[in-house]
Structure 1
């Protein structure tokens, strides 16, 4: 069996894999974590490279053995329980994620985070940093991604550049988190409009309950981003409840804050492009995971959260 140190050899920010599994059994066999699928005539085993995996989402019709859960925990892999298509996350024992427990995670990040969190004004300034980081990331990625440019998504385009500039100004002038949330919603609405124009999908209305492809892909992709956000916070030792944007009473809200850093940039355009091209959910998921890796989404989340936490009382 692999040694514990071997399993953690790959930094979380450099890991490439997120798994969504359904209708299978996850188990430990011969020192490896496998998932078993049952075809009509035979059973098939598939290996999960846990040392290079950040998150496993267990969908409908899945089960996991205690031995597999223990081995995943040893490798620092988060387990999320979800419904069909990766959404929504299910609450079990009042948690969204089954996180590997370790009392030896770093302390400087949570201490730095708490040094500003109880001050409403400092918390607002950090929320603004999150929003500016989100916009800067979108400008940078949409300005260089050749695949997106081929589909008409370019941060230099007049409508997109204007929406980003308008949102940046509102961030600077916001007097409270409510105003920040309004500006965020307006930007996302503008980006939806730009995406509809480029993919010619007709009338689109964002509704998590809708069954059209664009909404389904948005839901699916967002939960992949939530997995990265949850991983970032767990590794850095920051509890999910200390949010800066989504409110102090929403459980796990900081996961949503961190995921928002990349959602508009990577999930939104590919949800619309995939809907236009009538791709399957599996093809969409592979496209998103490829873009997560290509544009170092997890690195960006880690760097943003670490920089803010370490600035501590300067926030």
Structure 2
């Protein structure tokens, strides 16, 4: 049998990896050179052959550990060697307490690329360029939503259409206020107004009356939104770790908020994928596991992680090296637009 070193496990690009795991009530361990998990439900059986389940770490981006889980030091070492991000969270992928966030354990590696951090820092200390970057994120976010909602047949069958007059009005207002924003707080207010409009539209589309966004609510729509958002945070954290950009260098969220840049990047896909499917699955009275499987499948179908990588990389390499401040925002919009077009062409070919 051909031998390989632990570093060989990183040969699958993170943007192309297929798996994101959420585990609960199990023990994660290393056995015979593999990372396995042992479920409590099977641990009392006399036959040990079928108690262990393999985790293909070379093809995994994020491992979320929920209630009743433990992990060994040896397993953490192998996960780090494969570049897998590990997060501890509450039940269903969301925190046990709303003041508590997912805590990420990021593998340590001095061999990650440096050019993206260098490019990011070149513009980050410039207030105008940082605002341009925030505007680029917001524009890319809506462009991605429009592309996904246009081509996703499942969403169309659930009544989600961009031809709705209220949506078109909200999008036009969003673009106008984003272009005119003079500071990050203006963008945050514009973002909140758009999200509120999307919540209202989605609730009406699936006939959920009197919906109110509450992070500590017990209704399924709110629970699924929390759950899906934390899965998006996992992808965003993975993207930033691979590119070597610390999460503290946010362009939009508050300077004192933990994981701020993780939230900026996760916002790129949350409205397009998590939001509509949270409402659809709530209408269908889906279980947490069914919702999670649906969201992860849609992340894969619509290449959400690829889109995060493309957007962050183009911003770091081009906005950081640009010397013409007046054209920074327009140039970034063009680059992100080209990224969307490439992904759309690939989907069409398939």
Question: Which range, TM-score by smaller chain?
Answer: over 0.9
Deviation string 1:95-119 (CA, Å, 9 cap, x unpaired) is 9210010001101000000001111
TM-score (norm: length of structure 1): 0.96
Deviation string 1:179-220 (CA, Å, 9 cap, x unpaired) is 100000000000000001101111110010001000000000
Choose which of 12, 19, 24 in structure 1 pairs with 2:26: 24
Q: RMSD value over aligned CA atoms?
A: 1.7
Q: How far apart, in 1, do the equivalents of 2:252 and 2:65 lie?
A: 28
**Greater Rg by CA:** 2
How many residues of Structure 1 are paired with residues of Structure 2 in the alignment?
313
Unmatched segments (≥5 aa) in structure 2: 323-327, 329-350
Native 8 Å contact 1:80 1:89 kept in 2: no
TM-score (norm: length of structure 2): 0.86
The reply on whether 1:38 has 2:45 as its aligned counterpart is: no
Structure 1 residues 89 and 31: CA distance shift in structure 2, 3 A:
farther
The reply on whether 1:61 has 2:68 as its aligned counterpart is: yes
Q: How far apart, in 1, do the equivalents of 2:189 and 2:78 lie?
A: 43
Deviation string 1:79-128 (CA, Å, 9 cap, x unpaired) is 001111111289xxx99210010001101000000001111111001000
For residues 1-315 of structure 1, the aligned pairs below 5 Å read 3-39=5-41, 41-42=44-45, 44-88=51-95, 96-311=103-318, 312-314=320-322, 315=328
Deviation string 1:13-43 (CA, Å, 9 cap, x unpaired) is 0111111111100001111111100226526
Deviation string 1:230-253 (CA, Å, 9 cap, x unpaired) is 000000000000000102221210
Native 8 Å contact 2:94 2:102 kept in 1: no
Unmatched segments (≥5 aa) in structure 1: none
Identify which range, 151-160 or 22-31, moves more after superposition.
151-160
Identify which range, 244-253 or 198-207, moves more after superposition.
244-253
Q: Secondary structure at the match of 1:57?
A: strand
Regions of 4+ moved over 4 Å = none
Native 8 Å contact 1:8 1:76 kept in 2: yes
Q: How far apart, in 1, do the equivalents of 2:228 and 2:114 lie?
A: 31
Q: How far apart, in 2, do the equivalents of 1:54 and 1:95 lie?
A: 16
Q: Secondary structure at the match of 1:8?
A: helix
Q: How far apart, in 1, do the equivalents of 2:41 and 2:129 lie?
A: 56
